[in-house]
Each structure stands twice: as structure tokens, then as C-alpha cells.
Chains A and B, each alone.
Chain A
């Protein structure tokens, strides 16, 4: 019985290999039945992987300690939710989740396109199944989640397991990894269609139209995964750091950045038929960075807080990545003729140019993060000496880049497609620029001297004004025409072009997050040893530890400090930060912080234990941090708006000069659009 999971994974691996050959040979030799059977193999391997996943979950929930994975990540006293989340709490289980999500995506893609893109689909299937076979190979051979504990030939169960890492026993850990994986894995679909399009020499942009929604959904999942992870770190690690520039965090950010660049530059291809090669490069880079991120997390190449234990799978990833990058590069170079731009740039002062700069800055940010992440490895290889590249490096390099990107977020919507005149730009930029400068001036007058903070707040206001102007201009026109009130007209405006106005909502979300990030410049903190009844001050708060309560349940023993919060002598709240000592495993500790959340600042307390009869309290004030989580909500809302079909279907006509009659004067420039 205990081998059923492993057996189904072996069968799924064989079927995925069959699907690759069936698709390729079927298409090559023109045997439609082979292509069809390859597609059925995709469904079948999904079924087998679903069975294997269900088998593992059942083993986790029932504490089947014959399986090494279950014994390592579950203990009897753990709540059922965390027994379930232990599925992705370890290397083998999380690889199975990765592989299963890919199987789900592949089955959906094949089913959705069962009667569409018949030329391209066999190659799409083959691309998906090559990646699928790779991950199935990993969980079948070197990293099987179904390894059993045995003494000699006899399978033995241990009486209780080690339990899940206490830091992972938190509700958002039930959402963060699957959401992130939905993002990581999903980027394979646009990549597979891009490859299908290249291999079959598709003349048009059909792969872009097909994968537009996929990319957006995947980007949404990736964004959610990153931000939920940030929220988890903020609430669990005990020091309020939502982003630490750890290699694994960076690995999740890299494909998100290239995907964001792709979501912008793809508009150039849709509207102007430009940047086709670049879009191919971006979509491929996003996929490779997803695989690279997975490699970085699991190979132990760089030291990380998150990384799973060092494992032997690093070389597998290196080989897979090298082959894929080489094959993709060759394919793109070989098909350059099919990727020629259909239009030309009419003016440097145009929306097209702003997209170019947007892409440049995003890619520069991506490169600097990748460079900083890998530099310790590179430096050690060259100089033989280890170095540290920690948060201060990333902040110094990336803050200016991020501020420039924020500027472009505001500039882009103000510049027209094709060409803008200096006069129109002056008019468009007047109020947003004045607003940004005035706000920065007012904040300076109020005593803020942090240059980046002043710039950031000014730019945030600049972007907000540009977005507001865009909404107001359109809504006023609709209101004047239909007699609707302004709010109703704004909803109508958004519904008419959901992609554009949903995109603006996402820009507002980014601004909200920047407000939250900027607040970090004004953080306050104190770590104190406090006797019972003592008061101490932090900012405008007075805090008094009145009591330490202790207790125990099956899973952990706990102690929490009761801290009364006063402001101006008036009692305003009671916070109870807690410390836990888990009974399973090696008795690991974890903190449950207590936070008084307000939009202007969070008061954040961590109870770090007792020393010399006094409570060690870590108290922090995090100004504006709540805006990050608000921005997260706005980002999800904006992206969902983008996914709603527009009420008005816009056609972007592309005009090209096919030739000129003899005797007719040649045009000075070729017109696009």
C-alpha cells in the first residue's frame, strides 16, 4: 500500500515522456492520433499525480509515520491545518506540489485548446511535458516524498514525528507557498506558447493573445505569494521585517520583475507590432528565472534563511536550465526573420519610449538583485574569500532604481502613443509635478529631512495626480454625454477599457506600497529588560508590563506578557506578545507578536523571553506599514479588473506601407498604427 504513491509518480513520469514523444513525432510524421494520445497522456499523468498528492496528504493527516517525509514534518499533536500544510513544509513535498500544479496547468491548457491552435499545440504540449518530466524525475528518484522508514527489509514506523517548523505553523503559511507556486509554475504556459509559436513560425501574435490572461493570472498569483510571504515575515519573525533581501525572497522577485516588464512591453507588440524579439526574451527569461529560483532555494548554492537543506538536486537543475537556455537562444536567433517589427518609432517623445525606459529600469532592478544575490558566490570563486551582501547593499542600489520606476509609473500615462508635443507634455505634467513638489516642500517644512523619503512621497503624489487626472478626464466626458454622476461614470469608464483602468488601479496600489516602504525611514525601536510594573516609553506611547501568563497545550507551552499601552497618560490598549516552546522535535521556540495596527503606524511588540526575572520586550513603531497591506488589496482588485472583459472591444489597426507606385513621392517615414 505504502508504495502506491511512488508507483503513481513513476507511471506519471513515463506518461509525461510519452506525451513529449507523442506530440513531437505525431506532429512531425503527421499522425494526428499520436498527438491526440499525447494529449490524453497529459490528462492521465495529471490523474496519477493527483492520486499521489492525495496519498501523501492522507498519510500526513493520519500521521502515517512509516513514511520518512511524514515523520520528519508532522507530529501527532499538530493541528489538522498544519498537518495538511506540511505537504509543502519540506523539500520533497514542496517539489510534489510544484509538479502537481504544473500537471493541473498542463491539463487545463490542453483541455482549453483541444480544438484550437492545432499547429502549435503539439509543441506547447511537448514543452510543458519536458518540464513536467524533469520535476517528476526529481520526485521519483532523488527526492521522493514516499520514502519509507525501514530496518533491514522490514518497514517500521516511529511513534511520533518531528513536527513542522514552528515558524511555518501560522495561517498565512497555508496560503503563501501554494500561491507563490501557482505564480512560478504558471509562467511556463506563456513560455510554452512562445516556443510553440517560434517552432511553427507563426506569423502573427496568436501566442500573445492566447496567453495574455494566463500571464496576468500568473502574475497576480506571484504578487500575492510575495506579499503574503512579506505579511508572514512581518507577523511571525518578531522584528517586523517584511523584506530582508534573502536569496530566496530575491528569487521570487526576479521572475515577477521580468513578468511585469513583459506585461508592459507586450502592449507594444499588440498595439504596434513592435518588440517581438524582446517579448520572446522576456517571457523566456521569466520562465528561466522561475526555474533558477527553485534551484536557488533548494541547491544550497547560496546561504539563505529559507533554503531547504542542501540536496543533491542542484546539478539536475543546472543541466535542465543550460539545455533550455541554449535551445531557446538558438530558436529565437533562428527565427529572427519572423519576429521583425511591423511599425517604426515615430517620435522619442511617445508612450512607446516610456515603455522602453520602463523595461530598462525593471531589467536593471532585476539584474542588480540577481547580481547582489550571486555576488558572494562569484566573489568567492574569483578571490577565494567569502563576502556578505546583505540588506544595506540591496537598499543602496535598488532605492534609486525604484524611485525612478515610480516616476515612470506617473510619466507613462501622460504621454500619448505615437508622438507627443512639448506643449502637450508641459500641459499634462504641470499639475502632477506641481503637486509632487508642493507636497515634498510641505513635508520638508514639517521637519522631514530624509532625502529619499521626501522624493518618494513627492513622486507618490505625482503618480496619484496623474492617475486621478486620467480617471477624471474620461469620466467627465462620459458624464457629459450620458448624464451619469462622476462616480458612476468612472465605473463605466473602467468597464469600457478594463485593462487600461485596471492597470491604473494597480499603479495606485504600487504607490500605496511605496508609501508603506517609505515609512521604514522613520522606524523606531527599543529592546528592553523590563521588570513587572515598569513603564517605558517608545515614541508617544508609554508601555507597562503588568503580568506574565503561562500555559500549555498538547503542541506547545506558552508564556505571554500583558503589556498595557498608554498615550498621554490615557490607557488606549492592551497587547499580549507571546512566546512558544514546541514540544515536538528539538523543542523549538517561536514568537507570536502582538500588533496595534493603525493606518499611520503600527505599534509592534515581541516578547523575547525572560532574563534575570525581567521580561525582554522588543518594541517597535513602524510608521505607514499598513499601506503595504492596503496596497496589496488594491493590487489584487486592480488585476481582477484587468481580467474582466472590456465592454468595448478595441481594435488596434496596424497600417504598414506595402509599397509605392512608381512616380509617387516616397514617404519620409513609415507610418505605424
Chain B
């Protein structure tokens, strides 16, 4: 009886594992890895080929199929990306390449922070300098003194 129950349990586990295998992942991990470096150029999203969620996307779906084929042929990730860049130009990449004019895309935010820091340094240096203090006319001072004396005499 115990043996039968054990076999039944084993059968159930085996069937569960088989059933679990029936479903198939839509995007293979390797395709996704390469696709994450390529921009989806469908015009309706700002995702990459690897994570474009539109199942029937007219750009990403065929692009993923091609990546799969190229991976099957043994091409490296870089070689696959290069094929897409050759066909589509630099816009095929999800981020601008860090070379030539496009280096500016990466360096300008850093430059902005540095310029800002310099501006803060200048501002602090300027603001910490005491302002030129005007000499006060003695007659004005006497006027205030008289006023204070008058007020104090009222208090007394």
C-alpha cells in the first residue's frame, strides 16, 4: 500500500513536471541578452528589442527571430549588434555609442555638474566677502542718539 502510494506520488510529480514543460518561454534568454542592446524602432515604444512587450511588434518580433537565427549560427553578441548597426545605422543601438560627437551625450551632464560646482564656488566666495560698508555721517548718528535719549527719558 505504501509502495503504491509512493509510486502514485512519483507519477503525480512526474506529470506535474511534464505539464510545466508544455509552456514555452516566448523570448529565449540569449535573444533577450542581445536584444537589450538594440533599440526597438517600431515608433510606438521606447523599449529595446529585448524587452519590447508588444507580442506582434513589427520591428522587435522579426528582429528577435533574426537574433535567434544568428545565435544558432554561432555569431557573437557583438557581431549580431554590428549587423543591425550596419543595416539601420547608429539608431539601432539603444544608447548612443561613446565615440565621436556622441561622446557629448555622456559627458555634457557631467560637465553641467562641474560648471554648477564652479558657479557655486564662485558664488560662495563672492557672498562671503563683506560688502563695502559706507561711512556714516556723524550728524545722522547724532540724530539717532538724540532719538534714543528722548525715548529713554520718556521711560524714566
Contacts and interface: CB of A to CB of B under 8 A. Distances in A.
B74 interface: no
Contacts of B152: none
Interface stretch (A45-53, A134-142, A386-394): A386-394
Contacts of A528: 23-26
A423 interface: no
Contact of B116 (A363, A606, A611): A363
Contact of A371 (B22, B25, B108): B108
A534 B22 contact: yes
Interface residues of B, number: 57
Contacts of B89: 385-386
Interface in A415-431: none
Contact of A531 (B22, B90, B101): B22
A536 B46 CA distance: 29
Interface string A349-365: 00001001100110110
A227 interface: no
A344 interface: yes
Contact of B127 (A345, A608, A667): A345
A371 B105 contact: yes
Contacts of B101: 379, 382-383
A615 to B, nearest CB: 10
Given A387-B91, A534-B19, A305 B131 contact: no
B45 interface: yes
A372 B105 contact: yes
Given A244-B47, A360-B116, A344 B131 contact: yes
A246 B19 contact: no
Interface stretch (A467-475, A553-561, A626-634, A658-666): A658-666
Contacts of B112: 363-364, 367-368, 371
A245 to B, nearest CB: 6
Interface string A638-673: 000000000000000000011111100011111000
Interface string B1-43: 0000000000000001001101111110000000000010101
Interface residues of A, number: 71
A533 interface: yes
Contact of A667 (B24, B25, B133, B135): B133
A387 B105 CA distance: 11
A606 B23 contact: no
B131 A659 contact: no
Interface string B51-67: 10101100000000000
25 contacts: A238-B53, A305-B44, A344-B131, A345-B128, A363-B112, A363-B116, A364-B112, A364-B116, A368-B109, A382-B101, A385-B90, A385-B91, A387-B91, A387-B96, A388-B90, A388-B94, A390-B48, A391-B46, A392-B48, A527-B53, A528-B25, A658-B136, A659-B134, A660-B133, A662-B138
Interface of B: 16, 19-20, 22-27, 39, 41, 43-48, 51, 53, 55-56, 89-96, 100-102, 104-106, 108-109, 112-113, 116-117, 119-120, 123-124, 127-131, 133-136, 138, 140-141
Interface of A: 237-239, 241, 244-246, 274, 303, 305, 341, 344-346, 348, 353, 356-357, 360-361, 363-364, 367-368, 371-372, 375-376, 379, 382-383, 385-393, 396-397, 401, 526-531, 533-537, 606, 608-609, 611, 616, 618, 657-662, 666-670
